[in-house]
Structures are given as structure tokens and as C-alpha cells.
Amino acid sequence: MTPVATAPEGASGGALTGDAVRLPIAAGLHARPAAMLVALAKKYQSAIRLLRGADEVNAKSVVSIMSLGTQHGDLLRVQATGADAAEAIAAVSALLLQGCGEAHEAAPTSATLTTEPVPAVATAAHALSGVCAAPGLAVGRVVQFRQDVIVVAETGESAERERSKLDAALTLAQQQIAALKLGLADAAGAAILQAHQELLQDPDLLELAVAGVLQCQSAGHAWRVAFMQYAQRLEGLEGAHNALLRERGSDIRDVGRRVLALLAGVTPAQIDLPQGAILIAEELTPSDTASLDRSKLLGFCTTSGGATSHVAILARSFGIPALCGVDPAALALAQGTLVVLDGAQGLLHHRPSPADIDQAHQRMAQQAARREQDAALAQDAAVTTDGQRIEVVANVRNATEAREAVALGGEGVGLLRSEFLFDERDTAPSEDEQAAAYIAVAQALGPQRTLVIRTLDVGGDKPLPYLPLPKEDNPFLGLRGVRVSLDQPEMFRTQLRAILRASGQARLHIMFPMIATLEELRAAKALLAAEVAATGQRDVKVGIMIEVPSAALLAEQFAREADFFSIGTNDLTQYTLAMDRGHPKLAKQADGLHPAVLKMIALSCEGAARHGKWVGVCGSLASDAMAVPVLIGLGVSELSVSVPAIPAIKALLRRLSLAECQGLAQEVIQFGTTAQVRARLAAFAD
């Protein structure tokens, strides 16, 4: 039901107010969902307010939305004034109902609400405790970093001149952040910097700064007062449920300092790292972290922040150990001090004994030796001990990740998530923009490798701000995957034409997501056939994602009309078991190794085999070493895995016998519980 826009009692200026929306986001409207909400609100000319009881904020301001301190289950209303008010209310309310791109989760329980992750207790002598921000082990030497104090005059020139300085600094800061984003292949890091760019355009923050300029303050002084006021507002939010929002104050200070340095004409302190550095700081901003030389950095510790901070997210994406909230005594450690950083244990050993260092090096050597052994053979084919070839390909988002996959032994791309081109923007990408991205991935692979491009997979838990979908009581059972594409045929045709332009650069395959009926497959193939005929492209294979039980049950019928199957085990699990894989209470039970899910995979493989079609797996089970033997035993001949997992999965396959895996698979699909399956697979691995 579309939220109803009504004129509130006592409203002036023709304001309309939508129905109450119960917020489904477990962490409330923090930076990422707030940025998505703002991006949509800015498409409308109307002034838009977000209401919660007597509180209201500007819905076009990320800072104001975050400072509202929303919680899971809050009742929110959207109010708008202007020519397109009713349309704006419907769209913004619908995005709130869908969770603004965040997973729908129940409210945190009392156990999870009480505290942030508990710092480790330093039981060892000469160990400082903190919160694990990213796991891992490193032995290196301390490098201390302190941010410089930026001095600006309180008064300046004319208001016009100071406003011009502020505008120029904001523009240059946008360009600097955009350049940083280009250096991050990781989606999480890019999303953080995208939120920083949104902060630079925040209307409430800019209004406060401009008000200071008009009161004869210098641009630098007015800007510092404005961003510090907003940072302190977030950091002053009370309650454990606002821990995430309090940490976003550091993002505002990060953006603020960037602009302030430009206004002051100073170059911020650069973090010059020697080889083998363990960086220690009171605070590292996302910008600091994104610009670090990762070839020299082994890990870092900060005395501020926590496991939900953006710096912690970046550390995990970099694959380096990190601690947040570490004992402030770490700031007193001398430069060059030899330390052992144990991210998993949450400890910084600052006076390790020779035995401690030897033990750490042994653990690191064992891990590294296995990785090196796997990497040395990564370019070899994955062939079982009894001669069965299994293709190991990669799940990627872009050409950079495709090149990384090839370097690690990837034999192609089994899943190119095309939605990365459609995310975090105000309008759909053009055909030329899409084609350039698809061609770049194809060229990274070359004509001998397979490239499987999945058409746009949005809806349900993956909304797009410029494509508001109608409110659905059960969005996971509504317009998702190929259904969205069929509902938006012009956008679908544009994408198909763009994909076809990559033909010839690699062995091109097109895959449709969330196919549930033969009618959906036929409708999608008809649109593709029309574009193939119009462009004259040939030799394109067409496949489907097996993600719902109906597709598995009708696998033989689908195999008559599709060239291949790729099983999305994440969605197949939640649809087979009727359990949301993001649900805090059910997620552990939504296990892809449940016998019912394995039987769905078996049915898919059997149906495909009857018509000589191949089956791959591109869900998380493909990268799970415990699951690999049963998958190939059921008939899977392609595993599309996360890029870093390629060497290890190929090495595992070379140690397996297909005959033994087939016997194992037939055994475990007769079990009744996941526990039985996992116990048997663990015994098989031993």
C-alpha cells in the first residue's frame, strides 16, 4: 500500500504528511541508510521533513537524520511541502519501509544492547587490551601518529569573499575524496567515502557555516564551528543503541578537517610508514586509513572508536589486524618498539619475550606456508585424484577484481554482479557507461575465459533510490531480480544491449536472477533475442540462477531452455527453509548445508545432467571448504568463489576423489538435520 499523504491538522503552507512507517533497520538511520535516503529526497523539489513524534529534521540532510538518533521500530512520518510533495512522500516512505538498503533485522536484544564489543582482558604481562576491529596476527614496530592542530583566524574578509573561499574548498574536498574512492576496490570502503561526499553537500551543515560567514566570521572559523557542533551532537547521543551513531561523529570531523586544511592553506600531516609498521594513534579517520601504504602497514591500533567504526570496516576490507579502543598507554610506546598485535585476541603485546615472538612467527609462518603452497599451484587446473576437472572461477564486481582473480588462478568469472553499476547514484547508468564496464571485465579475462554477467538483481533487500518500488508486505516475495527487469523493460533492454557489446572479448554468458517460472525465463529470453537480432551478436549462452525451490523442482524443464545453471546458495537456503538469512535469531539455522537445501542442489544437477547442461555454484557455499566435497559429489562442475579463496579451493579439489565425494553426497542428503551433515563432513575432512 502506498503511504497516504494527508494535510496534518494545523499544517501551514500546504504541507502533506504520509502514513507512519515503522523503521526496520536494526541500527537505525546511521550514515549509509541516511545517505541513501538523502539521495532520494534530493530528487524532489519539495521541502521534505522526517518526523518522529514531536521531533523533526530535514530529510535532505545526512547529519540531521543521524542526529535524530532513530532506533529499530521507531514510527516515522515523511512530511513535504511543494509541487511534488505527494510523490516525494510516497517514494521516501517506501524507501524507509524497505530499510534504505540495510538488512531487515529485529531490534537488538537486551544482551546485545547493553554494551559495545567488550575489550579483551590483558592477562599476559606487558599486554594492552582493546576491541578486535579486524582479526589477524602481526609482528612489527610502532609508528606513532598525531594529527596537527589547524589554526584559522576568527574573522576574515567580506562575506562574499569568505563564502567564495568556502565553496572552493568544498569543491576541492569533493575531488580529493573522489580520487581516494578510485583507489579502493572494496565496496565497503567506497560506500564510506560516498557518505563523506554526501556530508560535504549537507544543507543543514552548510547553512550553519554560511550563517557564521554572514556574521563576519572567516570561512575557516565558521566551518569549524559548524562541523564541530554537529559532530558533538552525534557524540552526545545517549544509550547503547546509539553507539554506531556516536562513532559517526568521527566521520564528520574527518570531512571537516579536510575542508579546514584547504581553507587554512596547510597540508595535513602525512603518515609516512617504514616497512613493517604497526601504526598507533588516538584516532585515525577513514581518509587517513584509506590513504595508508598497505605494502608497509602490518596493522594498527587506535585508542578511540570501536568495532563498528568506519576505520574498523576499512581494516577488515584490507585484511590487516587492528584494535580499536586500546588502552591509552599505547600512545606512550616509543617509536620503533617491537610489538605483537593479535587482532583476534584483542591484545597488543608491547614487551614480547623472544619466546612470544618465536611463537607468533611460527603461527604466521604456518599460515603463510599454506597460502604460498596453494598460490604456487594456483594456475594449474583443479583436477580431482580420479581425473574430474572442476572449473574454479570468481565472483567479482569490476575489472580490478577480475584481474586479481586471474592473477590468483581464476579460470574466469562465474558471477559479475552488475548491480554495482546501478548503486549509489541518482540515475540509472547509460548503455555506454555499462558497456565500458562490462568490456573492461571481459578484456581482463581474455577470449579464452568465461564471463558470466548476471543482469540487474535488485528489489527486496536491494532497493535503488531512483527506482522506487511499490510498498510490499513481503518484499522478498515480490518484485525481485528478473521481475524488476521485466517490469522495467526499457532499462532491461539497455542493459542487455550493453552486455552484448562485450561479446567477443571473453566467452560471454548472460544469467537471469531469481527465475521462478518458465514464463519468466521465456519473457527474459524474448527480450534478449530481440536485442541479439538488432545488434547481430552471436555465441551468447543464457543461464539462470537457481535460488528458489520452484526452479530446482523444475530443473529438467528449465534445462531444456537454458544453457547452464548457477546456484545461489544464500537465497536458495532462505527460500527453502523460509528463514531470513539476516534474521538475528534464525540466521544460524539458515544453513546451506541443511539436507533440504542439499536435495534442492541435487535436483538441479540431476535435471541439468539429463540435457547435458552444466551447473555451477556462486553462493557462499562455493567458498566453504567443508561444503566443496558434497557440492562436487552432487554434480556441481563449477565453483565461483570469492577472489582470495581461489588458490585454497583449487588446492582442496586436487586432494579429493570424485568417487568418494559422490558417495559422501548420497550419504548426507539422507540425513535429517544440519548437525548430522556437518558432523559427517567434518569427519570426512579429517
Grid cell listed for 668: 548426507
DSSP conformation letters of 582-610: T-TTTTTT--TTSHHHHHHHHHHHHHHHT
Q: Determine the Cα–Cα distance for residues 50 and 78; give it in Å rounded to an integer.
A: 5
Span of 143-147, 381-385, 608-612, 645-649 with lowest mean pLDDT: 143-147
Quote the Cα angle for 130-133-135, to 5°.
Answer: 100
Distance CA 392, CA 654 (A): 12
Judge whether 618 counts as a catalytic residue. yes
310 included as an active-site residue: yes
Read off the amino acid at residue 58. Answer: N
3-state SS of 521-553 is HHHHHHHHHHHHHHHCCCCCEEEEEECCHHHHH
CA terminus-to-terminus distance, the chain: 54
CATH pick for 16-104 out of 3.40.50.2300, 3.30.1340.10, 3.20.20.70, 3.90.226.10: 3.30.1340.10
CA dist., res. 312 & res. 307, Å (int)? 6
Crossing angle, helix 354-376 and helix 646-654, to 10 degrees?
70
**More confident: 293 or 4:** 293
Helix, strand, coil distribution of the chain in percent, nearest 5: 45, 15, 35
Domain 159-264 is of which CATH architecture?
A: Orthogonal Bundle (1.10)
**Neighbour-count burial of 672, counting CB atoms closer than 10 A to its CB (0-12 exposed, 13-18 middle, 19+ buried):** exposed
Q: Tell me the H-state helices in 120-200.
A: 159-182, 187-199
CATH superfamily for domain 127-147+270-371: Phosphohistidine domain (3.50.30.10)
Query: Active site residue: 100, 301, 324, 618, which one?
Result: 618
For residue 457, give the nearest of 497, 495, 410 by alpha carbon: 495
Q: What per-residue confidence (pLDDT) applies to 81?
A: 94
d(CA 439, CA 586): 40
Class of domain 387-685: alpha beta
What is the reported pLDDT for 9? 40
User: At residue 351, what are phi and psi to the nearest 5 degrees?
Assistant: -135, 60
What does the alpha-carbon distance between residue 314 and residue 309 come to, in Å, rounded to a whole number?
A: 9
From the list 435, 498, 425, the residue with the least C-alpha distance to 466 is 425
Q: In this prediction, what percent of the chain has a pLDDT beyond 70? A: 85
Would you call 43 helix, strand, or coil by DSSP? coil
Which three-class secondary structure state does DSSP give residue 133?
A: strand
pTM more than 0.75: no
The string of pLDDT tens digits covering residues 535-567 is 877 779 999 999 999 999 999 999 999 999 999
Inform me whether the pLDDT recorded for 205 exceeds 90. no
Residue ranges covered by each domain of the chain: 16-104, 127-147+270-371, 159-264, 387-685
Which residue out of 104, 196, 310, 350 is catalytically annotated? Answer: 310
pLDDT at 114 over 90: no
